[in-house]
Amino acid sequence: MRVRQISFTGVGRVAVTEAEVREDPGDGEVLIAVSHVGICGSDLAVLGGHHPWTRPPVVTGHEVSGHVLATGPGAHRLQPGDRVVLNPLRACGSCARCRQGAVNQCESAAVRGYRLPGAAMTRLVVPERELHRVPPQVPAELACCAEPLAAAWHAAGRASQLDEVAVIGAGSIGLLLLAALRRRGAGPITVIEPDRGKRELARARGAGQAAAPGGLPPEPRFTAVFDCVCKPATLDWAGRAASAGGTVVAVGVPSGPVVIPLPRMQRYEVGLLGSGLYPPGDLDTGISLIAAQAVDVAGLISGIYPLDRVAEAYARAGQADSVKVLVAMP
Ligand SMILES: [Zn+2]
Ligand SMILES: [Zn+2]
């Protein structure tokens, strides 16, 4: 069958293209109707040509919700009609990290929309094991936010001392991280964000304070600093603002190597950790938190655009005051 998909056809160019998809799912596979696709900062990095390793042309989409249309032989867990969220990571399953459950650290893994074609397609055939069931009461547009929430939940767990926390960037990951940190019992959380509306959103969602870059008193100290931006200036600030023995967590996607204030970090034993995707259990946690209304994701949605207005959707997602933009698939 012919399906429509969202393609980055060149740097800065997004278009709806067509592809052929098998109608009958094979062994262990499931055919789904995609209902919503979330636009992520890392998608915008690909579209803008500054992602570290993925360049257009590529089919985009890794934050995807929908429902099951048909199941193939050997797919027994899901039923037609079930609402689902896609896990965009495909790991090898056999390396040392995979065997220990840290599948997001698999060096052979590929992610949809990056090293694998994306999932922003009106219909999609996927292995059943890559789908997570969502309770029927969760609206599909909220279900699709379980994917970034899983990433934020995982990132929040990367630092062990959460006595006094800073989060750089109040986009969707920063604001979901704020929620995840509060759920994990973090102490006062300071958010650093240039956009005034997003700072207000951060305060309304429980940040102890929200400041513009450069707006904090000199030499602040945090036991954990989460950098959701990972530009040279933010990582430099993070390395200087972490307390002795504290941790910097790089959550955002950097566009290339950056210099860190290593002399201070070496002397005062400041750790630097990455956070990239998450093991599948965190996606179930994200779904549960949304289903229980324990994390407000509706309040993060800046706009939902139909597929026919896809260019507008990506333009909106790139604006400074935008948090989470979704595309509703027909
Ligand atoms: Zn994402
Ligand atoms: Zn592996």
Q: Domain of 31: which CATH number?
A: 3.90.180.10
Here the CATH number for the domain that contains residue 243 is 3.40.50.720
Q: Is residue 291, in this structure, part of any structural domain at all? A: no
- What is the dihedral sign for C-alpha 51, 55, 56, 59? negative
Q: Which residues does 223 contact at the CB level (< 8 Å), separation at least 6?
A: 159, 161, 162, 163, 164, 165, 187, 242, 243, 245, 246, 247
Q: Is residue 284, in this structure, part of any structural domain at all? A: no
Q: Which residues does 107 contact at the CB level (< 8 Å), separation at least 6?
A: 95, 97
Distance 251 CA to ligand 2 centre (A): 21
Distance 284 CA to ligand 2 centre (A): 20
Q: Which residues surround ligand 1, an ion (CB under 5 A)?
A: 40
* pLDDT band at residue 133 using 50, 70 and 90 as cut-offs: very high
Determine the angle formed by the axes of helices 41-48 and 310-317, rounding to 10 degrees.
110
pLDDT score for 223: 98
Per-residue pLDDT tens digits for 253-274: 998 999 999 999 999 999 999 9
Mean pLDDT value of segment 176-188? 98
Nearest to 144 by CA among 243, 40, 19: 40
Q: Which ligand is nearest to the CA of 64?
A: 1
Distance 95 CA to ligand 2 centre (A): 4
Q: Is residue 161, in this structure, part of any structural domain at all? A: yes
Same domain, 228 and 201: yes
Q: What's the CA gap between 169 and 234, in Å, rounded? A: 9
pLDDT score for 30: 98
- Residue 62 and residue 112 in contact, taking contact as beta carbons nearer than 8 Å: yes
Same domain, 21 and 139: yes
pLDDT score for 280: 97
Joined tokens for residue 297: 């994701």
Q: Is residue 202, in this structure, part of any structural domain at all? A: yes
Give the sheet arrangement for strand 189-192, strand by strand. 209-211, 189-192, 165-168, 222-227, 242-250, 271-274
Distance 131 CA to ligand 2 centre (A): 18
Same domain, 253 and 118: no
Distance 275 CA to ligand 2 centre (A): 17
pLDDT score for 279: 97
Q: What's the CA gap between 168 and 233, in Å, rounded? A: 11
* pLDDT band at residue 276 using 50, 70 and 90 as cut-offs: very high
Q: What's the CA gap between 11 and 80, in Å, rounded? A: 38
Same domain, 130 and 13: yes
- What is the dihedral sign for C-alpha 124, 127, 128, 133? negative
Same domain, 206 and 301: no
Q: Which ligand is nearest to the CA of 93?
A: 2
Same domain, 68 and 102: yes
Q: Give the residue carrying structure tokens 């959380």.
A: 189
Distance 147 CA to ligand 1 centre (A): 7
Range of the domain at 175: 151-274
pLDDT score for 37: 98
pLDDT score for 144: 97
pLDDT score for 11: 98
When divided into structural domains, the chain yields a total of 2
Percent of the chain residues topping a pLDDT of 90:
99
Q: Is residue 26, in this structure, part of any structural domain at all? A: yes
Same domain, 311 and 190: no
Question: In this structure, which amino acid lies at residue 101?
Answer: G
Q: What's the CA gap between 143 and 140, in Å, rounded? A: 5
Q: Is residue 285, in this structure, part of any structural domain at all? A: no
Same domain, 179 and 259: yes
Q: Is residue 233, in this structure, part of any structural domain at all? A: yes
Q: Which ligand is nearest to the CA of 62?
A: 1
Same domain, 10 and 141: yes
Same domain, 124 and 179: no
Distance 38 CA to ligand 1 centre (A): 7
Distance 240 CA to ligand 2 centre (A): 34
- Residue 120 and residue 96 in contact, taking contact as beta carbons nearer than 8 Å: no
Q: Is residue 41, in this structure, part of any structural domain at all? A: yes
Q: Which ligand is nearest to the CA of 119?
A: 1
Percent of the chain residues topping a pLDDT of 70:
100
Q: Which ligand is nearest to the CA of 45?
A: 1
Same domain, 314 and 191: no
Same domain, 159 and 109: no
